[in-house]
A and B are shown apart, each in its own frame.
Chain A
């Protein structure tokens, strides 16, 4: 099973400041079609997860442009350029190439 390691696990941030979350995969999520199947999800307290970013860097519809994804190989990053109050919650990375698809442990973002 592919292990997804996120850091940090807890991230207190000041409103308006940048937040950065790292995700490392034990095996590359690159497929033979050349795409990298690494996605990011956000789960607000008491809600179901919502996908923010797919295939490393593509924002889903309705996701603010302050969210960006980057990375290659086995190391990936989610950045929130100017954190807003609605961004609190837990962020998960996930790979969907190797069965079973696996999630990171989650990074809890809270406002200082």
Chain B
């Protein structure tokens, strides 16, 4: 059974940093792109970033370019999202999702940016 477990969320002040983790199990991690998707409170879904199977290629939505960095550790079956210079509009539940087709999602981790 595929499992994706996010962690690392919390309350952070504007301008601060946070590192999210997603631990994957139940599938061959090295065979899939991985993504981070976020959902602001009461709002819809926004694809934030994705990373190729071997980590050689990464994409970011414009609103996070230069501030967020996606990475993965295939030895640990994990994907990460380093978030710097956080803003109020980054407040959201952050989900990791498996594959180019988003066939599995984690339960999400809440990031709140507020003073």
Contact = CB atoms under 8 A, between A and B. Distances in A.
Q: What class of interface size applies to chain B in its complex with A?
A: 10 to 19
Contacts of A106: 44-45
Interface stretch (A13-21, A67-75, A79-87, A91-99): A91-99
A66 interface: no
Contacts, number: 46
A54 B103 contact: yes
Chain A at the B interface: SS class: loop
A100 B68 CA distance: 15
Contacts of B45: 41, 49, 92, 94, 103, 106
B101 A48 contact: no
A24 interface: no
Nearest to B62: A100
Contacts of B101: 37, 39, 51, 54-55, 96
Contact of A48 (B59, B62, B100, B108): B108
Contacts of A49: 45, 95, 102, 105
Contact of B105 (A50, A55, A96): A50
7 contacts: A51-B102, A94-B45, A96-B101, A99-B59, A100-B59, A100-B61, A106-B44
Given A49-B45, A50-B105, A94-B45, 13 more contacts: A39-B102, A48-B105, A48-B108, A49-B105, A51-B101, A51-B102, A60-B103, A94-B102, A100-B59, A101-B47, A102-B47, A103-B46, A103-B47
